[in-house]
Amino acid sequence: MRHRIAPRTGTAFTLDKGQTLTVIDPSGEQVADLLAFKRADVHEVISSGRTLDYASRIYLTTGDKLYSNRSNVLLEIIADDVGRHDFLLTPCSKDTFRIIYGDTDPHRGCFGNLAIALAPYGVTEDMIPVAFNCFMNVPVDGTTGELRVDPPLSKAGDRVVFRAEADLVIGLTACSALQSNNGSFKPIDYQID
């Protein structure tokens, strides 16, 4: 069964150990912020710092594992049509839109959407770390360290598939930031198998 996340919204759901989560970009050039928490103790959560250290790479793809802050594997990427995702930046928020875009009445962003969706699972705002940003294209200049947020490389129908290595709570969004999605807001689809 395929689920749809409307533009600029988010959702949360459980994923059992061994199940797979397929994140699909139905229209192309759309980002989905993904969070994974250990269901038995939601203070255990995916960690960019641990994961990038163990992978020795900032661009993760098929075969790479997403580690928690306690160095356990929570998810493994088992298929990937795109090969370019971001694990450096935090979900966009009211403050992102205020500081980067200069909005005076800013949208709550992926951060706000994740906070609302995850609250019933006991996750509070301060427990939201750097997300694994599916399809987000953040090239880094290795010499100057400069980073940009470029249009995603995903085409309509492209997908990335994760296998759960523990019983998890997942947060997932259709990203709310214009810059991340080449200037338009689109849905994200997902499927659990």
Give the shortest CB-16-to-its own copies separation in angstroms.
Answer: 23
3-state class of 114 per DSSP? helix
The neighbour count for residue 89, using CB atoms within 10 Å, is 18
3-state class of 172 per DSSP? strand
Name the amino acid, one letter, at 90: T
Give the shortest CB-148-to-its own copies separation in angstroms.
Answer: 7
CB 18 within 8 A of CB 162: no
Task: Give phi and psi for 158, each to the nearest 5.
Answer: -65, 150
Beta-bridge partner residues of 12? 171
Give the shortest CB-125-to-its own copies separation in angstroms.
Answer: 8
Give the shortest CB-99-to-its own copies separation in angstroms.
Answer: 6
Token pair belonging to 166: 């523990």
The neighbour count for residue 151, using CB atoms within 10 Å, is 16
129 vs 187, beta carbon nearer its own copies:
129
1 vs 104, beta carbon nearer its own copies:
104
Give the shortest CB-181-to-its own copies separation in angstroms.
Answer: 15
58 vs 79, beta carbon nearer its own copies:
58
Interface ranges with its own copies (CB under 8 A):
43-44, 47-50, 52-54, 56-59, 69-71, 88-90, 93, 95-96, 99-100, 126, 128-131, 139-148
139 vs 157, beta carbon nearer its own copies:
139
3 vs 98, beta carbon nearer its own copies:
98
Task: Give the count of alpha carbons within 13 A of 9, CB side only.
Answer: 10
